[in-house]
Structure formats: structure tokens, C-alpha cells
Amino acid sequence: MTPLPFVLQITEVLYFPYRNRLPSMNFEAEILADPHDNSELYVIPSMRSLTAEEYVEAFQSFLDHSTEHQCMDEFNKEVMPHIMAGLGNGKSTINILGVGSGTGEQDLKMIQILQAAHPGVLINNEIIEPNPQHVAAYKELVNRASDLQGVSFTWHQLTSSEYEQQVKEKNTHKKFDFIHMIQMLYRVEDIPNTIKFFHSCLNHQGKLLIIILSDSSGWASLWKKYRHCLPSTDSGHYITSDSITAVLRKLSIKYHVYEFPSGWDITECFTEGDPAGGHMMDFLTGTKNFLGTAPAALRSRLQEALCQPECSSRKDGRVIFCNNLSMIVAES
């Protein structure tokens, strides 16, 4: 699952700006951000949020110009072997659960690391993924792989909350040695209770991995200043790692945070008429054709904000947006 376009930095609490649109939300706490100084800027009727299909196109532009996947690969190389080595406690089968696994690329990379750490051990990999297209793509990826001997796959085409409800209704509380939630908590209704539930699904000495945008990323600063100017969305939360670690502390769960740098080359955002730059601005703002529909003052201020040190740096004449990730490993 991929992150939403903007993230609000919050200390010790979670924030959901559109509670009236989704009254089922249940948060540990809420706050309102400090009053902004751009009160003359506002959303005009021609501005609208991205549809699911438009978001996919904008997200692809993000992937094409960012190091997000390389960042995760670096984490897999430096940290994941140590995590995987401590799993299983000598058992002949290791149980894994991926929550919001999408099309499965990251899942299979982690399975390869686990296979290297535990040669010959059977791996039972279960997946929770509500998107049928993603499930189909994941299955096709597995069918094409040639190095998955001893690995079984079970897909649950459900949301995380539907899976939780099913487990509780059927009283089938299966335990797992490793559970991962990669860039998916943005779209969970009840974040604290979701973390609590899946942590309760861990075996003794099991690990829960949560990957989410870091508070050191440019998203936090940008969303805090400009979210009021953009079309609202009812599809998720704008959160960063501090919100998640606050929940873990409240639940008295031990954890460790690994920070990994990631960048996104947004130089084309400042080139008039550049198609890639247009997609980038759409992804940054969650707005369809932002450059063509937003008021001139908002376009100017947002582009200026993107160049500020809290959002971006310059390298060889390019503007590199800070897309740092936090890898949070919670213990059972």
C-alpha cells in the first residue's frame, strides 16, 4: 500500500482532519493544527481530489523519480537479515502475515531473506489485501518465481479490519512469527486498535514491522502548512512515524526505529507545461490537474514551499524532495 500525498506531523497524538466525513473513526486523541498564515488561500470549485485511477498514474510518476524502493532495498540489506535470523525459535515452519501487501514485490524480497537465514525451513505466508487487481498481480508474481520451494501462500481478499472481525467472529486467532505493514496504515480506520490487534497475533519472540513516512520527511511540513488549501479526502490519515511510536508507547510495546533516507527528484514541478511535473504536483497535493485548476497564489506559494530546506535540498541543480522512511520494528 502506498502513502497518501500529504502527512501531518503530530507529537504524541494522531490527527484526522475529516472526522465528520467518516464518523466511525476512533482515535486516542485529536488536535487542531496551529492557525495557518495563508488564510486568503482556499479551495475553489474547479479543484478536486484524485480518483483511484488518477492516483495510480500520479504515484507511478513518483516511483519513477524517487528512491523509495531503493530505500526499502537498503533496509532489506542492512537490517532485515538480523530480524529474520531471530525468528522461528527453532521451529520447522515459520508463519508470516503481510497486511496490505499490494502486488507482493516487497513480500517476496523478505521471503528470500528469510530463506537465506533459515535454509530448509517451511514458510507459511498469508496475505491480507483487499484490492482484487493487486491480489491477481501478486499471484502472477508467485507463479513466475522459481525460488519459492517450501513456501505456501494464502490470500485473504479483505481489509485489515475485515480480517480482524473475521478472526474474532470465528475465534481463529492464528499466531505469526513475523507480521509486516508496509506503507498501509494511512488507510486504516482505527490505527491504535489495529496495531494492538496485529501485535496480539505475534508468537513469542515474534516481530511486527511497520514502514511509514518519517517525521524528518518533507511531507510533514508541507501538509501542515497547506492541507487547508487542497481538496479534502475521506480515504485516509495523514500520519508519520511519531504518531505510530506514540501508540506503541501507550500500549507498552517495545520497539526500535530505523531511519533510512529517501529522495524524490521534483525538479520538473517547476517547468511550465512539463507532463511529469504535472503528475508530481498532482501526487504532492492529491489534486487532479493542480497546476491547471489551483489559484495562481496557491501554485506560487506551494512551489516556493517545496524549495525550502524543511522540504527539499539541491543537488547538481536538481530539487530533491525529502521522502525519508521510518522502519519501526515492534517486539512481541
Please report where in the chains the cell 495557518 appears, as a residue: 36
- Tell me the β-bridge partners of 66: 264
How many Cβ atoms sit within 10 Å of the Cβ of residue 45? 6
Q: Does residue 300 lie in a domain region?
A: no
Q: Tell me, what DSSP letter sits at residue 51?
A: P
User: Is 321's pLDDT higher than 50?
Assistant: yes
Q: Does residue 124 lie in a domain region?
A: yes
More confident residue, 9 or 254: 254
**CATH number for 200:** 3.40.50.150
Taking residues 204-224, report their average pLDDT.
90
Taking residues 101-105, report their average pLDDT.
91
Taking residues 141-149, report their average pLDDT.
94
Q: How far apart are CA 123 and CA 114, in angstroms?
A: 9
Strand 151-156 to 176-182 pairing: unpaired
Contact present, 57 and 279 (Cβ < 8 Å): yes
Determine whether 271 is exposed, middle or buried from the number of CB atoms within 10 Å of its CB (0-12, 13-18, 19+): exposed
Q: Does residue 133 lie in a domain region?
A: yes
What type of residue is 225? K
Contact present, 137 and 56 (Cβ < 8 Å): no
Contact present, 287 and 198 (Cβ < 8 Å): no
pLDDT tier, 233 (very low <50, low <70, confident <90, very high otherwise): low
- Note the pLDDT tens digit of each residue in 255-275: 999 999 999 999 999 998 999
pLDDT at 39: 45
- CA distances in angstroms from 158 to 4, 39, 163, 218, listed in the order given: 20, 41, 6, 32
pLDDT tier, 29 (very low <50, low <70, confident <90, very high otherwise): very low
Q: Is 101 helix (H, G, I), strand (E, B) or coil?
A: coil
More confident residue, 20 or 78: 78
pLDDT at 45: 60
What type of residue is 75? F
User: Is 241's pLDDT higher than 90?
Assistant: yes
User: Which distant-in-sequence residues (6+ apart) come within 8 Å of 317 by Cβ?
Assistant: 267
Query: Count of domains in the chain?
Result: 1
Contact present, 217 and 9 (Cβ < 8 Å): no
User: Which distant-in-sequence residues (6+ apart) come within 8 Å of 273 by Cβ?
Assistant: none
Contact present, 320 and 264 (Cβ < 8 Å): yes
Tell me what percent of the residues of the chain surpass a pLDDT of 90: 61
pLDDT at 162: 95
Strand 202-213 to 325-331 pairing: antiparallel
pLDDT at 232: 61
Tell me what percent of the residues of the chain surpass a pLDDT of 70: 83
Q: Does residue 153 lie in a domain region?
A: yes
pLDDT at 196: 97
User: Is 309's pLDDT higher than 60?
Assistant: yes
Q: How far apart are CA 47 and CA 43, in angstroms?
A: 7
Q: Does residue 288 lie in a domain region?
A: no
Contact present, 75 and 327 (Cβ < 8 Å): yes
Q: Is 164 annotated as a binding residue?
A: no
Whole-model pTM? 0.80
Taking residues 200-216, report their average pLDDT.
95
User: Is 22's pLDDT higher than 60?
Assistant: no
Q: Is 21 helix (H, G, I), strand (E, B) or coil?
A: helix
Please calculate the CA angle 185-189-190 and round it to the nearest 5 degrees.
Answer: 85
Q: Does residue 172 lie in a domain region?
A: yes
The residue count for the chain? 332
Contact present, 186 and 325 (Cβ < 8 Å): no
Nearest by Cα to 248 from 183, 171, 331, 310? 331
How many Cβ atoms sit within 10 Å of the Cβ of residue 18? 14
More confident residue, 60 or 149: 149
Q: How far apart are CA 26 and CA 196, in angstroms?
A: 13
Question: How far is C-alpha 329 from the geometric centre of its chain's CA atoms?
Answer: 15
- Note the pLDDT tens digit of each residue in 69-102: 999 999 999 999 999 999 988 899 999 999 999 8
Q: Does residue 33 lie in a domain region?
A: no
Q: What mean pLDDT is reported for the chain?
A: 84
pLDDT tier, 14 (very low <50, low <70, confident <90, very high otherwise): very low
Q: Is 193 annotated as a binding residue?
A: no
Domain extent at residue 95? 67-214+236-263+324-331
More confident residue, 30 or 233: 233
Taking residues 105-114, report their average pLDDT.
96
More confident residue, 209 or 12: 209
User: Is 5's pLDDT higher than 90?
Assistant: no
Q: Does residue 103 lie in a domain region?
A: yes
User: Is 43's pLDDT higher than 80?
Assistant: no
Please report where in the chains the cell 529474520 appears, as a residue: 84
User: Is 171's pLDDT higher than 80?
Assistant: yes
Top mean-pLDDT range of 86-90, 226-230, 250-254: 250-254
